[in-house]
Structure 1
Amino acid sequence: MDEYMMSLHNHFPENINQLWAHHVVDECVRNGITAFCISPGSRSTPLTVAAARHPGTDVRMLYDERGAAFQALGYARATGKAAVLICSSGTAAANYFPAVIEAHQERLPMLILSADRPPELRDSGANQTIDQVKMFGDYVRFFQDIPPPTESIALNWLLSTMNYGLSRAHDPHNAGPVHFNFMFREPLAPSVQPVSGAYLQAIPASRWKTEKPYTQHFFSPAIPGQEVLAPLVGLKEGFLLAGRLECRSERRAVEELAARLNWPLIADITSGLRLKPLPQLLSHADLLLLRKDFREMLLQKPLVHIGGQFLSKRLLQVIQEHSGPFWHISPRVNRIDAALNHSHELHADIPATLHYWMSNALPGDEALTRHCLEINHRVAETVASFCASAEQTDEILVARTVARHNKNALYLASSMAVRDMDMMSPPYAHAPEWVAANRGASGIDGTLASAIGYSRGLQQPVTLVIGDLAFLHDLNSLSQLKEHRPPLTIVLINNHSGAIFNFLPIAEHKEWFNPYFNTPHSYDFKSSAAQFGLLYQSVSDPRELEKVFRERNLEAHTLIEVQIGAEYNVARHRELYQRIRDLD
């Protein structure tokens, strides 16, 4: 056998199923996609074996497909790159759906490789067979049903199709999930059924002399023309509103723009700027909006929204009343305009656009920023003095304690955890730039797995702040920590209920509120920590909270369970809101 044929046989394993699977995995690696989240199953054997033995992959075996998909989601949030999900046929892939929806909403790349039965077993009553064709509907950017591997289909079709799907997953204007559904016939194991030499020789030898993808896709960032940007550059004053920002270059550009214009900056917690001590930052903007004077200022000035959506309901309510110039700058093509009042939608690269603005900007009005910062300072002092008087632990204290003493990247569960961090936390010098939450569809499912995936992507320790119901919902994802490093710190807020509903009008209707909304329970999670090998501490005293968090073991997975009275917590929030409204 000549050298060329030897190289081909080294690249093509035992049978045609394994051959195709090898090249699917290899093409992922050539595109820089190396993280694999695999759930065990028989029909997916060729893909699993190919991923396991490829030298360029990082494989995690994850029992639960739902948790695996959320780990892939967190990984994509950290890296901007897809992780590869591999599962068997039947309901396995259906468990991916919640994470697929979140990835779709947040424009996060994700690659699904599901195994399926061949055509002759579809719609036949065969075991573990469902209709998997386009099962995720419009929530994926691209779907391809891959026929059973055969020598009658050229391998370059598979390679080209894989690359097209990967490009759709990573489209900078509309990233998201992509689904390949692979039909496999027996043999599923890597038993020897040699592929013909003619089929192998159809692939150019040049492929094995490079590590580049079969097809390279390029996206060119464009800056809109001067005539488009002239009205933006001509603004003399206004408010900068930073929604979710996806990378360091976007965050840096917004920081520099705020400093250059000297405009007041309202930063969502997922922007990565909310906890930083920036000179123009209105750190308690959500609380400032309790005040009529600040709301009126915001309504009277131009607004420039940069990036993704906002968490603050009060900010969204004020935006609905705004009728002046309102720009939105984002590379994404999806609409983020719930108030339906944007005057300008600029689909463009954020750093490039903001740098152009900075180079042509007019001097800002310092009076507006100075006045806003004065109000923010008074509100910040009010929050600090209010917290000093706490007799019990509440969720305000949890948010502020984590903010002061955390240097890890942050992952924040939906419900009150993310809201209190956004509202109550002071900025601090060692704040992490990596702050994330699942706010695309704002569900509580998969939060723990998402945080683990986020840590995997960043290769950094992560602190997760999560409520008791969200923790219960994803409890089995604690099993993912067995093979995971760096360490995860979990701050679990246990108010023994779905306490966020205490803030909603349904709480006034006692006959329905409990148990249908409040969903009370009596669980604590010490035994869960022991079961999965986590260090554990329980806190109920506000004086202990800071000490426990500050002195936690930074080298091990740790669960800090904070016991909170739900009614006391609601009363504390409402009292603080009233104090802010009453400020002179």
Structure 2
Amino acid sequence: MKKFINRNILWSEFIVDTLLKFGIKNVVICPGSRNTPLIFALAKEKRIKKDTVIDERSAGFFAMGIAKKTKKPTAVATTSGTAVANLYPSVVEAFYSNIPLIVITADRPEILHNCGANQTINQKKIYANNSKDFQNITTESISKESFTRIHKRVSRILIEQKIDPGPVQINIMFDKPFEPESFTDSIEQNSLDYIFKINKNEQIKISTKLDDLVIPFSIIRKINSARSGLIIAGGGVNKQIAALITKLAKKLSFPVFVDASSELFFSSSQDIILKSFNQLAISKEFRNHLHPDVIIQFGKAPTSNSVLQFFESSRAFKIGINEQGNLYDPSRTTNKLLKSNPKVFIETIIPLLQAKKNSGLKRIITLDKNLTENRTKMIEKTNWMFEGKIYQELLKLIPDNSNLFIGNSLPIRDFDSYAIRGKRNINLFTNRGASGIDGIVSTTLGIASKSKTTFLVLGDQSFFHDLNSLLIAGHNKIPLTIILVNNRCGGIFKMLPAAKYKAELRKYLSMNYNLKFENIIKSFNADYFNITSWKEFEKAFKKIDINKLNVLEILTDADQSVKFRKFISAEAKKVVTKYYDS
């Protein structure tokens, strides 16, 4: 018996069924016409959680936030044309952050390409330089062979994405009509049954288990012969290995620097975790005393320029370890790069290492402690709204099990410099792949959609870039508390060498639009708080409803903050000098 069908709906339902087979349970939908078949197929599937986001740029980052929080692939589905291009910033960030993002793009059929048809661009492999894989699907054929062939290709892409996470594109070329009851074909019931059994009958075994790691003897020898060393925990290192890194550090008597983008930032309060290394690294005197023979870097490059400069100038034997086998070293001075899960590396190498006693380690830890205490006291005494104090005050107020997202540009650097590393049950998130200031609010909302109690700290330019994402919070009823640091646009530029060119800085870089955010924020039905003192900051936290969208705006003086940062650095150098002179 034959059944009337719409071929676009059939293909869409097949793709959705394939996504489910690989555990994709979250899809972000962007409204559009060309992706109508996908929308109908997704609407029908109750096992998939759907979120609707109007703007594709926000949608891509929102989907990426879901993937960050769930640590599972998340899909975003969009219509054709510039809608596809608007996803590009999130694809770039996902690529450089190794986030499993599945981009499903609806397209016009081949016959409508290169003839001036509306909303038609060449979107095949549009993300080629910044994605892991691509598959084009035409819906002209509904033969069993066509579905079997596409199933194998899409399955391969999704399997490889589990092993090597990153964005992938599935481009589907739909011709009209799109609606379920606009029939295009008739098909035998047994053929239809066959098509939907493909996903059940084709058993795909997925194994992401790494083979036993073979560590070159030269690396073991270098580490065993080292009199001193340093461990760097960068971005992309899972917080579950905090205890292992501490174990490795203690066996080797190597101090550990944890970067602001690392999940390990709040994982340990032990003294072997340096809390002020980015300030220690500024001091020439400290660099003259610390000569590590070996530096072991897990994950990505540090955020701090002073740490990067220390790394570059060091003559240590440098070992980079990450799951991608990528070089995360702008100085290109890494001696050995290993593609390995850090957990596998540590568990493999620890039995092969000799326990060390480093007489200089205690001195470094003592100096680090002195510097941290001195800086903390200096910041605590400030009664004006210094950006760096936000993190000390915030961490006193946010509850355990919270998500904390730190925005790019100045916020992440201030967090790195002034937040106190220690044991807290806080889930830390950043977008440090390409490190752009766009999509920050959208990404955080994606994270917040999967768990309650989420906080975001970002600058006014980042907020302005992603203002329309506040619609997501209202439409999807997502609670989020935003700490908006308003230094009147581009405060970070006042810390750079270009700052001495005041006319150009004022006109082209540090652009003060003098925006009044209050009315804009309230128009999105968010609760707004204007913070002018630290007492008000604390009071606002007691007033906020964490089940709603809240924005706490802190107006800061960028010029005053720059002077105070310089003062803190100068005092840090004095602490180091005094310590080594004693």
Give the TM-score range, shorter chain: over 0.9
Q: Which residue identity does 1:47 align to in structure 2?
A: L
Q: 1:203 is paired with a residue of what secondary structure?
A: helix
Q: Deviations over 1:528-551 (max 9, x none)?
A: 321122222111113333343365
Residue matched to 2:416: 422
Q: 2:265 is paired with a residue of what secondary structure?
A: coil
Q: 1:480 offset after TM fit, Å? A: 0.8
Tell me the distance in 1 between the aligned counterparts of 2:333 and 2:352. 26
Q: 1:528 is paired with a residue of what secondary structure?
A: helix
TM-score, normalised relative to structure 1: 0.92
Tell me the distance in 2 between the aligned counterparts of 1:486 and 1:351. 35
Q: 1:537 is paired with a residue of what secondary structure?
A: strand
For 1:285-434, list aligned pairs within 5 A: 285-407=277-399, 408-432=402-426, 434=427
Q: 1:296 offset after TM fit, Å? A: 3.2
Tell me the distance in 2 between the aligned counterparts of 1:77 and 1:328. 23
TM-score, normalised relative to structure 2: 0.92
397-406 vs 85-94, which moves further: 397-406
| Equivalent residues of 1:239, 1:298 under 8 A apart | no
1:445 partnered with 2:438: yes
Residue matched to 2:206: 217
| Equivalent residues of 2:100, 2:161 under 8 A apart | yes
Tell me the distance in 1 between the aligned counterparts of 2:186 and 2:554. 60
Which among 31, 35, 38 is matched to residue 40 of structure 1? 31
Q: Which residue identity does 1:538 align to in structure 2?
A: N
For 1:106-125, list aligned pairs within 5 A: 106-125=97-116
258-267 vs 40-49, which moves further: 258-267
Unaligned stretches of 5+ in structure 1? Answer: none
Classify 1:250/1:47 alpha carbon distance in 2 versus 1 (closer, same or farther; 3 Å).
farther
| Equivalent residues of 1:468, 1:496 under 8 A apart | yes
Residue matched to 1:534: 526
Q: 2:122 is paired with a residue of what secondary structure?
A: coil
Classify 1:295/1:462 alpha carbon distance in 2 versus 1 (closer, same or farther; 3 Å).
farther
| Equivalent residues of 2:135, 2:154 under 8 A apart | no
Q: 1:200 is paired with a residue of what secondary structure?
A: helix
Q: Which residue identity does 1:390 align to in structure 2?
A: T
Tell me the distance in 2 between the aligned counterparts of 1:353 and 1:471. 40
Q: 1:38 offset after TM fit, Å? A: 0.8
Residue matched to 2:457: 465
Query: How many residues were matched structurally?
Result: 569
Tell me the distance in 1 between the aligned counterparts of 2:555 and 2:411. 14
| Equivalent residues of 1:326, 1:343 under 8 A apart | yes
Tell me the distance in 1 between the aligned counterparts of 2:243 and 2:194. 45
127-136 vs 92-101, which moves further: 127-136
Q: 1:227 offset after TM fit, Å? A: 4.3
Q: 1:204 offset after TM fit, Å? A: 7.3
Q: 1:183 offset after TM fit, Å? A: 0.5
Unaligned stretches of 5+ in structure 2? Answer: none
Q: 1:82 offset after TM fit, Å? A: 2.1
Tell me the distance in 2 between the aligned counterparts of 1:339 and 1:390. 37
Q: 1:491 is paired with a residue of what secondary structure?
A: strand
Q: 1:133 offset after TM fit, Å? A: 1.6
Tell me the distance in 1 between the aligned counterparts of 2:225 and 2:180. 65
Tell me the distance in 2 between the aligned counterparts of 1:394 and 1:26. 52
| Equivalent residues of 2:259, 2:265 under 8 A apart | yes
Residue matched to 1:184: 174
252-261 vs 363-372, which moves further: 252-261
Q: 1:195 offset after TM fit, Å? A: 3.8
Residue matched to 2:65: 74
Classify 1:217/1:428 alpha carbon distance in 2 versus 1 (closer, same or farther; 3 Å).
closer
1:147 partnered with 2:141: no
Tell me the distance in 1 between the aligned counterparts of 2:193 and 2:551. 56
Tell me the distance in 2 between the aligned counterparts of 1:580 and 1:246. 29
| Equivalent residues of 2:60, 2:76 under 8 A apart | yes
Tell me the distance in 2 between the aligned counterparts of 1:254 and 1:199. 57
Tell me the distance in 2 between the aligned counterparts of 1:217 and 1:391. 56
Q: 1:63 offset after TM fit, Å? A: 0.3
Identical amino acids, percent of aligned pairs: 25
Tell me the distance in 1 between the aligned counterparts of 2:290 and 2:475. 49
Which among 28, 44, 50 is matched to residue 53 of structure 1? 44
Tell me the distance in 1 between the aligned counterparts of 2:431 and 2:412. 10
Tell me the distance in 2 between the aligned counterparts of 1:319 and 1:197. 66
Q: 1:571 offset after TM fit, Å? A: 1.3
Tell me the distance in 1 between the aligned counterparts of 2:481 and 2:435. 22
Q: 1:523 offset after TM fit, Å? A: 1.5
